[in-house]
């Protein structure tokens, strides 16, 4: 079993992300909802599962802009980590939000705040603003996907 994220300095992994620009698709120094996860968890030594079938680094941004992929993203996010009760989330846990028109992940930072990539950039957001749309929380382990 891998080392718990409790044993890792979450703030160091999040530092480079906070207030970074948004860019749909992989580029340096700007993030979307997938690349923020890769960057954050990659800094902690965690490799995420492969992208959903048919998605590649080269095509997912275009597919998303064409209105494709919401369901694939949702099920991809659900496939990551182990479910944890929302009342027991800890810093580093993956949060999955579903607003029916949109779906996005967040990374819980503790103290009632999470980190997420929005079109205006990567922001630290009070969880209470999106708690109504929280559908699942996931815990990832170092050394596991």
83 touches 138 (CB < 8 A): yes
Residue 126 has pLDDT above 60, yes or no: yes
Q: Measured between alpha carbons, how far is residue 7 from residues 68, 93, 126, 141, 142 in Å?
A: 38, 13, 24, 10, 10
The structure's pTM equals 0.90
Going along the chain from its start, the domains and CATH numbers come out as 5-139 (3.90.1720.10)
DSSP string, 13-62: HHHTTTTPEE-SS-BTTEE-TTHHHHHHHHHTT-PPPPPPTT--TTTHHH
Give the burial class of 43: count Cβ atoms within 10 A of its Cβ; 0-12 exposed, 13-18 middle, 19 or more buried. Answer: middle
- Please give the pLDDT value at position 2: 47
Q: What whole-number percentage of the chain has pLDDT above 90?
A: 60
Report the relative pairing of strands 21-22 and 30-31 from DSSP bridges. Answer: parallel
- Please give the pLDDT value at position 8: 54
First-to-final CA distance of the chain: 11
- pLDDT, one tens digit per residue, over 50-66 is 988 888 888 888 888 88
Report the relative pairing of strands 113-118 and 94-98 from DSSP bridges. Answer: unpaired
- Please give the pLDDT value at position 11: 80
Residue 9 has pLDDT above 80, yes or no: no
Region label for 50, one of left (φ > 0), alpha (ψ between -120 and 50) or beta (otherwise): beta
């Amino acid at each position: 079993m891998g080392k718990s994220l409790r044993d890792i300095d979450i703030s160091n992994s999040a530092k480079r992300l906070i207030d970074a620009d948004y860019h749909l698709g992989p580029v340096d120094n700007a993030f979307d909802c997938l690349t923020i996860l890769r960057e954050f968890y990659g800094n902690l030594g965690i490799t995420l599962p492969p992208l959903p079938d048919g998605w590649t680094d080269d095509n997912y941004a275009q597919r998303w802009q064409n209105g494709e992929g919401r369901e694939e993203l949702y099920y991809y996010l659900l496939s990551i980590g182990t479910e944890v009760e929302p009342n027991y989330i800890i810093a580093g846990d993956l949060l999955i939000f579903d607003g029916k028109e949109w779906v996005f992940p967040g990374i819980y930072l503790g103290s009632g705040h999470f980190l997420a990539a929005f079109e205006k950039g990567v922001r630290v957001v009070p969880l209470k603003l999106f708690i109504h749309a929280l559908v699942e929380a996931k815990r990832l382990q170092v050394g596991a996907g």
